[in-house]
Each structure stands twice: as C-alpha cells, then as structure tokens.
Chain A
Amino acid sequence: MLLQIADVSLTLRSSDGRCLPVLEQVSLDLDCGQCLGVAGESGSGKSVLALGLMGLLPRSSIAALEGTMIFQGRDLMRLAEAERRSLRGQALAMVFQEPMSAMNPLLTLEEQVGETVAAHVAGVSSSEIRRRVVQALKRSGFAEPERFLASYPHQLSGGMRQRAMLAMALVLEPQLIIADEPTTALDAALQVQLLKELRALVREQRHAMMFISHDLGVIRSIADRLAVMYAGVIVELGDVATVLERPAHPYTSALIRSMPRLVQERRLPQPIPGHLPHPDRKPAGCVFSDRCPRAQDLCRRERPSVSTLAGGQQVRCRFPEHD
C-alpha cells in the first residue's frame, strides 16, 4: 500500500487561541493506479487533509495530533522539514484549485514548471529542465508545449492554466498526486476532457491520486473509490458506484439529492436543512445528528463507530440506509 492513513485526529489552534478539531479518526488507504475521491462541503476538512498530507500546515497551528499517515514506510505527519521538502514535488505533489493565485504572474510557463526540477534535482542542466518541462506539459494535455513556454499565466486560457498546474505537479513524476478541485473553474466540455486525461494518467502511469471535490458528478467520472467527509469525519467510504447508487449514510444521500440532475423530472434540487457545524461546536453524538432526518436519541449521545456493510462500503452511522 502506497499510503495508509490510520485514525488521524487533528486539532488546529485558531488565531484567537481556540482549539478546533478539524479531523477526527480519519482512516484511508490508497494504492498505485488508484484514484480516491474525497467529497464534502467547504469546511468538511477535505482540504485540511490534503494540506496535512503535503506537510503544508504550519507546525505552530497544530494543537494536537494522533494517528499516522504512512507513506512509503514513513509517517508524513512526523517528518522533519528537510525530509518533507525532499518528498514534496518528487514523491507527492499537489494540484491547487485556483491557477491564477497558485501561479506566479511574473514567471513564464517554462520557469513556472521548471522551478520544481531545478529545486529538487541537483546539478540539472537547463536543456534537461526544458526537456522535462516539455514532457510534463505534453502529458498534461498541451498539444504543442513549445509554443507556450515563454507565455505568462495571464496569456493562457483557463483550461491551459489548469493544465499548467497539472504539469507543475507531474514534472518530477510523483507517485501520489493530490488534486484539490482542479477542474471546478472550467467549462463542462473542458472538464470532461481533463478528467478523462487525468484518469488515463493514473491508470497508465500507475500514479495514485487523491481527488478532492464537492461535486459528486465530477468524482463519479474520475474516482474508483469515494470517501464522503462531513465536519472532519469520514462518514462513508466505498466503491464510487456503490456509494452513489446505494448511499448508506443519510448525509451522503442528502448530498446526492442536493445535486441538480439532468435527466430526472424538473424540480429544484433539495437543500439539506441546517448548516455544517463550526469545528468547536460539533454535536456531542454523531456529527450529522442535528441535521439528520432519522436521528434518534442514541445518535445525539454517542459518536457512532465504523461498520462495514454487505456491499463492502464502510459507514459511520448506527442506522444506515439500505441495510
């Protein structure tokens, strides 16, 4: 197994000194050639999970940490900064959501993508950097990368910028790619195309990918497995088709009902009543109990543990649907 996250609980300290439990007993694993989708609303903890994996959470903000994130035999959460730095870019890389803010407007495409190579490969020549940059851009879907090497981010279209972000992550061929909403800003046709390419890349080049999105439709078209997060907890985890067609957790089915659908009868998507709880005001029992239509007294008192259903999906609910 390439990545094994076991029982990770993370508490962050906010700027005003409060302790915020942002992840609770998160367990996941991911192997090469696989794509794991992580779905959840903003504030569900999915981006914190990604930043934690990348080692991008400032040490000073971590108030408490339990559990392990074992990647290639090493615990990512407890690495020294120098070790982390050697892993980032080479072994694991991240594709960010907003290319306009994640790219440096003063660097050309070649400098932008080549920076990673120069920083991680000692004594690399500039012609070698260019060769690798061109190759990475090709693999990210640039038809003629040479034409755009000297372009600045603002001269590229939205789709190209997103591909450039992907190239920046791919240039050193990392085993694990973490993509945080990489296609949200794109038009549907472009999104479909980029998702297909990403999927092919994961399958053929045996990368492992963690694909974070709030859009279940996007996740369905790229991921093999799906983890649904709510308030820092993975509430459901399983095969993508199983989870989306036979959701076991009430939150998963509420999320599916809130999606606008194309082929069904015309009606408004159904909102989930209530709001996602703030990390320091989570319910004492199940995190979803204050919004759950089927919550009982027991749900409000105790956090449910993980149970595995017949279909193979894991769910954190005492009264799962489709029992």
Chain B
Amino acid sequence: MTESNRAPILSVSGLCKRFPLERGLLRSLTDWWRGNEPESVEALSQVDLQVFPQETVGILGESGSGKSTLARVLMGLYAPDAGRATFLERDLFASDPLIRLQNLRQMQMVFQDPFGSLDPRMTVRALLEEPLRVHRTFPRREWADRLVRGLAEVGLEPEALDRYPAEFSGGQRQRIGICRALILDPSLLIADEAVSALDVSVQAQILELLFRLKSVRQLSLLFISHDVAVVRQLADRILVLYQGRLVESLPADCLLQDATHPYTRRLLGAALELREAGQAVPEAAGMAVKDDGCPCRSLCRAFQPVCERRPVLEELHPGHRVACWRPTSL
C-alpha cells in the first residue's frame, strides 16, 4: 500500500557514507603529504528512500550491503558524508542537539543482538527508564505505570522489572528491547535484523508481536533483514541494497514475479534453494572500493559495455524502480 497522496514521514535523498580503509601509518602519512585523498569504502552511495505513515519498508541485502550502516546513519550513530533527510518535517541531520533529541524520540531502534544490546548490569527497570530519563517527555509519576503497561504490551509480567537481562531467554530479551524502543511512543521504528538471532519458532512470536504493536500503535516500520522470506511476508515495499546502492525498489507483492535486477534475482534464487529446494546461484562478490560502474557487472549474464557506467534507479512500472541499464533483456 504505497500511499502516494500522503506525505512521507521520512524522506532521505542522496545519502552517502564512506569509511576510510585501514592503512599503515607510513602509507597514511605519505597520502597526507602528497595531498591524496585517503582510500575509502563506500558503505552507502546515493541512497534515496521514503517511508510513509504506517508503512512497512523492507530493506533487503546481504552482509556488507550497507543496510546496518543505513540504520545507524538514520539513528544519528554515524554522521553522513552527503545527503539530506527530512523526518516529520524536521531536518534529521540537524546539527542542533535539541532537534536531534526530538528526532530520536520519534525514531527508535530494535537491535539485532538480544544479548549485546542490553547492559547486563542494569535491571529491566533501569533499562526501560533510561530513555524516559534522557528525553524527559513524560513526568516522573507516570513512569511506573508506563513501564508496567509497556511490559504487558510485549507479554511480560511486572515482576520482570527487578530482574537482570541474563535471567531472560533470547526471545524475552528481544521483547524487552521492543518495549524499550516503544516506551517513548515513537512514530517510526527501525528494526535491524531484529529476529535473525532467534530460533524459528521464537522468531515467529517476535514477528507477530512486532506487527501487532505496529498496527495497534500505527507505527511506520523500517524492517532491515537479510532474509528474503521474512521481508517478503512482512513488508509493503522492498528496497534492495547491494554494495551500498539501492538497486531495486518494488512492492512486496510483486517480488517473486517481477524482481528484475540480477542481484535481487540472485537473492531470490538462494532463498528459494534454502526454503523450497530451488535452483543454483553463483558465488558472492566482495565489497567494492570506489567504482563508477554497475556494481553487479561481475555476476550479470546480460553484461553490456554500457554497464561500465553506473545505472540510476529508473521507473519500470509505477511503484517499481530498478537500477539497471537493460532491465528487459534479463
């Protein structure tokens, strides 16, 4: 359900993030002396995306595709090198710390690792109160009530408040993580591989919880995952990231029939093989150091000289965009 007539709550354009490559001291000094730009890896390159109210946008990509970097840049954990983002009509990358704090109150994240993302020395109460203390949006007397209601919402008893993360299972910890992300009543939730560390049956429980809360609280969701099956089942729209670039954007309903980009098709092939015993797929390519061509040249069967130039996302059908010079010849 792409709601083209409504304004997006998050709108990102031209987002770039580079990380310097690790070099020896001598090499770095020579580079600096000669005025060479330090070599870097482009983790995100010209990423555009929009999230509409109550929409679930799935970001699909393998490790190294830049999907976690994207989440971290949006959350303000990394500063972007270029690009602009508007979130609820405010500048997401504003330098004013007050505006950033306001943005974060409306945008919260559920992390991948239910073990690493909760401080083992804090009780659940302390963990859940921390965002309330930082943001000061709700008066102190409301906290206790908020905590109990929040826990009930994710299916945990109030007794959990005085226990430590180590006393909970992975699934329960992820519930605590979700509760913590929702305690400030945000509008947008970023879930970065929120279920991939969990067993399949627990995964299903957490997904059900996440999507029930999403509809009850009318949240928008940016759901980041490497799992094609999960993203296809849950998202309204899917964006495919490859080596930091968006290569395809299409409605989730059309993924199986209409996916056009060779990389998307390759992901589908691998997932089909794992889930349904389908067909073979070629070996993955490594991370690219700055490069101006199509990132998929090495794995594409329809390679053309034009692919030495970088394709941009272009509309194939309404709602379906793909970054490929010859999408119809594939």
B62 contacts A189, C-beta separation under 8 Å: yes
Binary flags per residue of B261-296, CB closer than 8 Å to A gives 1, else 0: 000001111111111110011111000000000000
- Chain B residues with CB under 8 Å of A268's CB are 204, 207-208, 211, 233-234
Binary flags per residue of A258-270, CB closer than 8 Å to B gives 1, else 0: 1111110011111
B201 contacts A260, C-beta separation under 8 Å: no
B226 contacts A216, C-beta separation under 8 Å: no
**Whole-angstrom distance between the alpha carbons of A262 and B202 in the complex?**
19
B270 contacts A262, C-beta separation under 8 Å: no
B312 at the interface (CB under 8 A from A): no
A119 at the interface (CB under 8 A from B): no
- Chain B residues with CB under 8 Å of A261's CB are 229, 233, 275-276
B11 at the interface (CB under 8 A from A): no
Q: What residue in chain B is nearest A257 (Cβ atoms)?
A: B204
Q: What residue in chain B is nearest A269 (Cβ atoms)?
A: B204
B256 contacts A263, C-beta separation under 8 Å: yes
A190 at the interface (CB under 8 A from B): yes
Q: Chain B interface secondary structure, helix, strand, loop or mixed?
A: helix
Shortest distance between the CB of B294 and any CB in chain A (Å): 18
Which of A187, A266, A271 lies in contact with B205, CB distance below 8 A? A271
B170 contacts A42, C-beta separation under 8 Å: yes
Shortest distance between the CB of A226 and any CB in chain B (Å): 14
Shortest distance between the CB of B87 and any CB in chain A (Å): 28
Binary flags per residue of B290-314, CB closer than 8 Å to A gives 1, else 0: 0000000000000000000000000
B200 at the interface (CB under 8 A from A): yes
**Whole-angstrom distance between the alpha carbons of A259 and B227 in the complex?**
12
**Whole-angstrom distance between the alpha carbons of A269 and B275 in the complex?**
13
- Chain A residues with CB under 8 Å of B234's CB are 268
**Whole-angstrom distance between the alpha carbons of A174 and B226 in the complex?**
34
- Chain A residues with CB under 8 Å of B269's CB are 189
- Number of B residues with CB within 8 Å of any CB on chain A: 41
Binary flags per residue of B184-206, CB closer than 8 Å to A gives 1, else 0: 00000000000000011111110
A262 contacts B229, C-beta separation under 8 Å: yes
Shortest distance between the CB of A152 and any CB in chain B (Å): 14
Which of A188, A218, A258, A270 lies in contact with B226, CB distance below 8 A? A188
A188 contacts B228, C-beta separation under 8 Å: yes
B274 contacts A191, C-beta separation under 8 Å: yes
B201 contacts A255, C-beta separation under 8 Å: yes
Q: What residue in chain A is nearest B171 (Cβ atoms)?
A: A275
> Using a CB-CB cutoff of 8 Å, which residues 220-260 of chain B contact chain A?
226-230, 232-234, 252-253, 256
**Whole-angstrom distance between the alpha carbons of A268 and B203 in the complex?**
11
Shortest distance between the CB of B234 and any CB in chain A (Å): 7
- Chain A residues with CB under 8 Å of B274's CB are 188, 191-192, 215, 217-218, 221
A188 contacts B62, C-beta separation under 8 Å: yes
A214 at the interface (CB under 8 A from B): yes
Shortest distance between the CB of B14 and any CB in chain A (Å): 27
A41 contacts B270, C-beta separation under 8 Å: no
A220 at the interface (CB under 8 A from B): yes
A214 contacts B271, C-beta separation under 8 Å: no
- Chain B residues with CB under 8 Å of A217's CB are 274-276
B203 contacts A258, C-beta separation under 8 Å: yes
**Whole-angstrom distance between the alpha carbons of A22 and B303 in the complex?**
55
- Chain B residues with CB under 8 Å of A271's CB are 201-202, 204-205, 207-208
Binary flags per residue of A206-235, CB closer than 8 Å to B gives 1, else 0: 000000001111101100000000000000
A260 contacts B229, C-beta separation under 8 Å: yes
B207 contacts A189, C-beta separation under 8 Å: no
- Chain A residues with CB under 8 Å of B202's CB are 41, 271
Which of A41, A158, A189 lies in contact with B201, CB distance below 8 A? A41
Shortest distance between the CB of A89 and any CB in chain B (Å): 30
**Whole-angstrom distance between the alpha carbons of A193 and B274 in the complex?**
10
A221 contacts B204, C-beta separation under 8 Å: no
Q: For B170, B256, B284, which residue has the most chain A Cβ atoms within 10 angstroms?
A: B284
B207 contacts A269, C-beta separation under 8 Å: yes
A124 at the interface (CB under 8 A from B): no
> Using a CB-CB cutoff of 8 Å, which residues 257-289 of chain A contact chain B?
258-263, 266-272
B256 contacts A187, C-beta separation under 8 Å: no
14 sampled A-B residue pairs with Cβ under 8 A: A41-B199, A188-B271, A188-B273, A189-B281, A221-B277, A259-B204, A260-B230, A262-B232, A266-B233, A268-B233, A269-B204, A269-B207, A270-B204, A271-B202
A interface residues (Cβ-Cβ under 8 A, vs B): 41-42, 158-159, 187-193, 214-218, 220-221, 254-255, 258-263, 266-272
Question: What 3 pairs across the A-B complex have the smallest Cβ distances?
Answer: A188-B270, A271-B204, A271-B205
